[in-house]
Amino acid sequence: MACMKYNRPEENKEVRLITVESLSKSFDDFSAVKEVSFQVGKGQVLGLLGPNGAGKSTTMRMLTGFIHPTSGNATICGYSILHEKELAQAHIGYVPENAPLYDDMDVREFLEFIYDLRGLASEQKKNRVQEILKLCVIEEVELQKIETLSKGYKRRVSLAQALIHNPDVLILDEPTDGLDPNQKHEVRKVIKNLSKEKTIVISTHILEEVDAVCDRAIIMSHGRICFDGTPAALKAQSPTGKLDDIFRTITQRQEALC
């Protein structure tokens, strides 16, 4: 789906597909996300890192319009998640943590069902589903019931359903969590391939994943951003050159401030 709002020539050099402005979320009196701001340029792959409970999923849920921020705003392709939620959502493909699937459908049937739910033109359905099956490397299981698939395939089916409407922006919440190393590799390969065309925000606990697929990393801790830069800049802050070490140092430093 083309981002029409960004076709003005003066904006073509550095198109910002995601802007997040002082986004906050409280649950009763607990503040889960605190005045988070960042922007993501077209084609960037942003890795969202942080310990359990840091506020990554809450931030993603706000970006995708699934929960309402307590304050602040965000735009996707120029559309506000507060005031133009449906337009913003039309440009987003979202794979939540533990994304639900319809187990008793086969893969093709499921993707065709999601295609119809999106209200897309029926004459292009077969071709689009075929394209997505290929893109996510799930052609060989297209006629298999979802409940019989391995976790790795299920994860790629989740990714496929998020791509059906050809969104500009992908929000992927821990897409390789719980997969074996081979399946992690396969899912990352698909994401890497998608990054040629899409702007991606991916949350992960796996620091090597940031190195493998991201060109930028944001570390959150206690609802705040405590690092924003390239994976190389992150590594450079570590005396050992290990991402794990600097992750611990940065997040523990933030913990001490809270």
Ligand X SMILES: Nc1ncnc2c1ncn2[C@@H]1O[C@H](COP(=O)(O)OP(=O)(O)OP(=O)(O)O)[C@@H](O)[C@H]1O
- Tell me which of 17, 23, 49, 57 binds Mg ion, using CB under 5 A: 57
Minimal distance, residue 53 CB to Mg ion, in Å = 8
- Tell me which of 50, 65, 78, 175 binds ligand X, using CB under 6 A: 50
Contact call for residue 57 and ligand X (CB under 6 A): yes
Which span (16-24, 26-34, 72-80, 240-248) binds ligand X, by CB under 6 A?
26-34
The answer to whether the CB of 9 falls within 8 A of the CB of 207 is no
DSSP of 11-68 = GSTT-EEEEEEEEEEEETTEEEEEEEEEEEETT-EEEEE-STTSSHHHHHHHHTTSS-
Alpha helical stretches, state H, the chain = 56-63, 85-90, 107-117, 125-135, 151-163, 181-194, 207-213, 231-236, 243-257
The answer to whether the CB of 3 falls within 8 A of the CB of 15 is yes
- In the shown chain, the binding pattern of residues 8 to 47 toward Mg ion, with x for contact by CB under 5 A and - for none, equals ----------------------------------------
Q: Which of the choices ligand X, Mg ion, none does residue 34 contact, using the CB cut-off of 5 to 8 A by kind?
A: none
Chain residues that interact with Mg ion, rule: CB under 5 A: 56-57
Chain residues that interact with ligand X, rule: CB under 6 A: 27, 30, 32, 50, 52-58
